[in-house]
A and B are shown apart, each in its own frame.
Chain A
Amino acid sequence: MAAISTRARRAVLAVLSMAMVLLSTGARAEDYTTAQAYLHAFDNGVTVYTGVFALNRDFNLDTSLYFKYNVDLINPDFFSEGGGGGDGDSLSGGSAVAAVSGASSAVSSGGVSDTRHEINGGVTHNFDNLFGVEAYVDFSHEQDYNSLTPSITLTKDLFDKNTTLSFGYSRNIDRISGQFIGSTQSRDTDNFYIGLTQVLSPVTVAQIGYARSESRGLMIEGIRLVPLGSVSASTCTVESATCVDEVAPSSRSRNSYMAGISHYYPGDGESFAARSALKLFFRYYDDDWDITSYTAEVEWDKYLDDDLVLGLMYRYYNQSRAFFVKDTYVAGDLYKSASPQLLSFDSHLAGVRLAYNIPGSSGGKGLRLGTIEGKYQFYTQSIGVNAHVMMASFNLLF
């Protein structure tokens, strides 16, 4: 926290001050608490256990408060002998970084272990049905990376709440101290978002959005080394004349365009589609590093009975590589990267979930005390990453 600058603290204070002002004057969100557990198991032995606890509580009719704690245990010692590692790295040549951890062999082959803590707090306030405000502060800490993110979103309902406009701004204030960086360095990112949600019919709603991000500062994490010439990445474990630090441009501008639609199929269960919802989502992205990506996602949720919901989803993602990414680097190259995130690849994510809505004591369709849910997803990248994702959650309404 000490590494966070005065400017960052001022940003947090500004958001907190705004929250206090909001509280002093008056999102009708539902009260809920949720506990979630995740397992991300990668095919090179890296395992991440995640726990999430969140509480959303109405302060009054117009104001609600939110708190969340998230912990990621990366290759924790207490679950495994040796805590995973880099075995089974399926990449080769100049890209032979640990495909799963995203780190160089220097990190992954040692069975890297880390813990990430994230705390998020915020307030949502509705100003006499004129507009809504959401203000949050998020702080994330791990061994080599601190991130502070204040954010604010304004929403405005129009046309009898058939149209909702959203304007958002957030600032990522990151302090990076990867093992191959001499001293802690900074990266600041301004994020802007504008979105529109439109009700199209009693069973269809659509959403579009545009987001822009401007980043400045250190654009690498300092956790990878780049092999020069014919040097094998697997032997690049310490800095040397042939294993050098990554170098990336000191700024990055990103644009993303999003569109989604959700359609409900009513009915009483006679047809296959009855009481189900089909959701489609598309995203186009480009940036000034010449990365262009396309994302398409489809999700189908179906009531198996009044309290049981089956969900199926599939996501396809494709991206081109950054302009400075090469198969082989020489010392004279201005930019050098060993990051798999900057390569050209496709990815697929498919999953199934089952949710049980706990009926409320008063009974009746739609009234529930909470939800118990389980989910399984499989993620695969064309450059070699495979991951199993499992989630169990308990959500209680009150």
Chain B
Amino acid sequence: MKKLLWAIVFITAAFAVSGCARVRPWEREHLADPIMRLDSHKEEKAVREHFLATREGSVGSFGVSGGGCGCN
């Protein structure tokens, strides 16, 4: 229950800051730059998540595929 409350607080706080900024499409040159991506390419991310998920106890956040001996 405590975790759920934290999740609600977390999401509510996020909504609270939503709408603070209205950046127009013509102001997004830098936001669209590939180096601004919070995630690397999904293929690269999948390889990394699989590598880490087979060595660390808190597996990837969203459905890491495969398992086995954890050699990779």
Contacts and interface: CB of A to CB of B under 8 A. Distances in A.
Interface residues of B, number: 51
Contact of B10 (A207, A208, A221): A208
Contact of B67 (A176, A206, A264, A277): A176
B53 to A, nearest CB: 9
Chain A residues touching B, range: 35 or more
A105 interface: no
Contact of A279 (B14, B17, B38, B71): B38
Contact of A293 (B46, B58, B71): B58
A52 interface: yes
Q: Is the interface of A mostly helix, strand, loop or mixed?
A: strand
Interface stretch (A2-10, A16-24, A136-144, A225-233): A136-144
B66 A36 contact: no
Given A194-B11, A319-B57, A341-B56, A205 B70 contact: no
A251 interface: no
A74 B51 CA distance: 12
B45 to A, nearest CB: 11
Given A163-B18, A281-B38, A112 B71 contact: yes
Interface stretch (A88-96, A235-243, A255-263): A255-263
Given A36-B47, A101-B69, A309-B35, A385 B30 contact: no
Given A102-B55, A199-B31, A309-B35, A391 B72 contact: no
Given A46-B71, A277-B35, A341 B57 contact: yes
Interface string B39-72: 0010110110001101111110111111111111
B21 interface: yes
B44 A160 contact: no
Contacts of B10: 208, 210, 257
- Residue of A158, A178, A189, A205 with highest tally of chain B CB at under 10 A: A205
A193 interface: yes
B26 to A, nearest CB: 10
5 contacts: A38-B47, A147-B67, A209-B61, A223-B69, A286-B3
Interface of A: 34, 36, 38, 40, 46, 48, 50, 52, 54, 68, 70, 72, 74-75, 100-103, 107, 112, 114, 116, 118, 120, 138-140, 142-145, 147, 149, 151, 158-163, 168, 170-172, 174, 176, 178, 189, 191, 193-194, 196-203, 205-211, 213, 221, 223, 254-258, 260, 262, 264, 266, 276-277, 279, 281, 283, 285-287, 291, 293, 301-303, 309, 311, 317, 319, 321-322, 340-343, 347, 366, 379, 381, 385, 389, 391, 393, 395
Given A72-B71, A322-B57, 5 more contacts: A114-B71, A140-B66, A147-B66, A303-B35, A366-B33
